[in-house]
Amino acid sequence: MKTPDETIANGADHMAEILSFVGTGNADPVLREIRHALSQLLEHGTESTIDLGAIPFAGGDERILNDVLGDGEVRATLTTLGESLVQETAVPGVWRVDHFDEKGETQSRFIEVTFMPEILKTQRQDAELGLATLSERLATRDEKHNEQGDR
Amino acid sequence: MADKPMLPELMKAHGVSRRGFLKYCASLTSLMALSPAMMPRVAHALENAPRPSVIWLSFQECTGCTESITRSHAPTIEDLIFNAVSLDYHHTLQAASGHQAEAAREKAMKDNWGKYVLVVDGSIPIKNEGFSCIAGISNLQMLKDTAAGAAAIVSVGTCAAFGGIPHANPNPTGAVAVSEIIKDKPIINVPGCPPIPVVMTGVLAHFLTFGVPELDELGRPKAFYGETIHDRCYRRPFYDKGMFAEGFDDEGAREGWCLYKLGCKGPTTKSVCATLKWNNGTSFPIEAGHPCLGCTEPDFWDNGGFYKPLSVPAGDYRKLGLAAVGAGAVAGAAGAVLARAGKAKAAAAHENVDAHDLEKKS
């Protein structure tokens, strides 16, 4: 007799297996769109983003996309409002950006064709806050040193 | 409430980085079914758009919609956006009561005439206006007075959007939807019993950034009500394979098979429950093992029983249309012509049929 957890896991496995072979036929058009976007980036510097959530995309399509693009050299995890995974594919200039919420549920998924995804760059507002934080910490440190010097 | 800080200050106060904000805007843009190229405009508008005055009126309702929108376990950026509007009147949430509360509403209306957003939850009784009053003012009168100066109206929940449970047979109060009373203002219906919180914030964000979103024939934003739950249900492959739970404790139920035969209304119910889910994305009714009740559709309470399979016209689908019911229920299972024939026969005989029966007939 299976435990409830085993039953759920069993159902999830069945589901994953079924879904991994279901395709909509959209993977090839998306891959060709990526190729066009990459040529535009190189010729004109035009960056592009493809919203994978806006296209009917099944497990089989995802499998084709991953097989063709592969894994590249850069893989970064952001931790803000849940995690985000930013990874360059084996086709340099083509990035996968997957956003998750605090529970690990997928919020949105994008292909970015760019030399550097915007979300990886330090944002000016954050740097301004960083300057204020660093100044405050140094002031605290100076204060401590002065107190120790007085003794 | 009008002197609350703007979104950037709120973000800082809650320790949300600019990156976090960009992430939220990217997901929100995707959620609103906009092109990713619009993301900078969404971010710019959310940061710089003047905070609109919002007047929230609650009529014949259970407060579930307010609970849904305001409840969260931790401060989220949705909360921040919700706070970034100037909520000038909401009689459940505001501290003021009685004449002071009504004075706040009247002041917000006067100061923002023609510009404020009116949010309504609950239906309006018209059989006898005295059935539901606030501060001695009937719901009908308050709606008419407040709607007159609104830029747009958001009907939150199935009661405000379609009449909901108060409208169910025999409808003792003569409950009606906002759209049956107000005819000269843009009305955005956000049905659900209650609606998903992020759908509400998404609609507000869309209104802040680009105005009234694209609506379907029932006045619902297409971005959130464009597809049926069945279209995106993780149990859909079981439906396509003809694998159905026949009871709540049989093998099919334990294995997570399709709940269609247990009365699931997913095939005819448009909502994003299967993708956005509930309780911070934890689950949704079908994932918890219960059929969808169809709460984002008109007259869901009167549609003949929550546990009857859909193929039969179990109740009064007068606003939905029989063709839509049939087409949704048998998609992928039988040819459309045969399905229509099967459905028409079933409707005439009032017999229960399901996908298996329709397949046999093909």
Cα maximum dimension of chain A: 76
**Backbone CA torsion sign across B196, B202, B208, B213:** negative
Pairing type for strands A106-113 and A94-100 reads: antiparallel
Q: Which CATH class is domain A4-120?
A: alpha beta
**What pLDDT is attached to residue B76?**
61
Task: Tell me if domain B7-223 and domain B229-361 are identical in fold.
Answer: no
Average pLDDT over residues A74-90: 95
What is the average pLDDT across B350-362? Answer: 47
Domain ranges of chain A: 4-120, 124-151
Predicted pLDDT at B244:
95
Indicate the burial class of A49 (C-beta count within 10 angstroms; 0-12, 13-18, 19 or more).
buried
Mean per-residue pLDDT for B336-348?
Answer: 41
- Which of A12, A103, A124 is closest, CB to CB, to B280? A103
Angle value at C-alpha B212, between B296 and B82, nearest 5 degrees: 75
In the predicted structure, residue A137 carries a pLDDT above the cut 70: yes
Residues 6 or more apart in contact with residue B44 via CB below 8 angstroms: none
Contact B314, B304 (CB under 8 A): yes
Q: How far, in Å, CA of B130 to CA of A49, rounded?
A: 55
Provide the shortest C-alpha distance from residue A147 to chain B (in Å).
31
DSSP-derived secondary structure for B111-152: HTTTTEEEEEESBEE-S-GGGSEETTEEHHHHHHHHHTTEEE
What the block records as the tokens of B240 is: 């396509």
User: Who among A99, A107, A126 is closest to B17 (CB)?
Assistant: A126
Pick the CATH number of B7-223 from 3.20.20.10, 3.40.50.700, 3.40.50.10190, 3.40.50.2300: 3.40.50.700
* Domain locations along chain B: 7-223, 229-361
With a cut of 60, say whether residue B348 has pLDDT above it: no
Return the pLDDT at B283. 84
Per-residue confidence (pLDDT) for residue B6, from 0 to 100: 67
Per-residue confidence band for A1, with pLDDT thresholds at 50, 70 and 90: low
pLDDT averaged over chain B? 81
Query: What is the pTM assigned to this prediction?
Result: 0.72
Tell me the DSSP string of A17-68. Answer: HHHHT---S-HHHHHHHHHHHHHHHHHH---EEEEGGGS---HHHHHHHHHH
Contact at CB, B281 and A15, closer than 8 angstroms: no
Q: Is the C-alpha dihedral spanning B354, B355, B360, B362 positive or negative? A: positive
Dist. CA B83–CA B203, nearest whole Å: 15
**Contact (Cβ atoms closer than 8 angstroms) between residue A126 and residue A141:** no
C-alpha count within 13 angstroms, C-beta hemisphere, residue B77: 28
Within 10 angstroms of residue A48's Cβ, the number of other Cβ atoms is 18
- pLDDT tens, position by position, B280-289: 667 899 999 9
Average pLDDT over every residue of B263-276: 92
Q: What topology does CATH give the domain B229-361?
A: Cytochrome-c3 Hydrogenase; Chain A, domain 2 (4.10.480)
CA A14 – CA B326 distance, rounded (Å): 29
The pLDDT of residue B32 is 76
Average pLDDT of the residues in A83-93: 97
For B204-239, the pLDDT digits (tens) are 778 877 889 999 999 999 989 999 999 888 888 889
Q: Report pLDDT for A22.
A: 63
Any residues with CB less than 8 A from the CB of A131 and at least 6 apart, and which? none
Nearest to B277 among A12, A22, A105 (CB): A105
Confidence of residue B99 (pLDDT cuts 50, 70, 90): confident
| CB spacing of B19 vs A124 below 8 angstroms | no
Question: Taking 90 as the threshold, does the pLDDT of residue B338 lie above it?
Answer: no
The answer to whether the Cβ–Cβ distance between A99 and B254 falls below 8 Å is no
Share of chain B above pLDDT 90, in %: 47
CB contact under 8 A, A99 and B23: yes
Report yes or no: B56 and B89 within 8 Å, Cβ to Cβ: yes
List, for residues B270-326, the tens digit of each pLDDT value: 999 988 788 766 789 999 999 999 999 999 999 888 999 886 544 444 344 333 333
Q: How far apart are CA B233 and CA A17, in angstroms?
A: 16
Per residue in A38-80, pLDDT (tens digit) is 999 999 999 999 998 877 777 788 899 999 999 999 999 999 8
The helix/strand/coil state of B177 is: coil
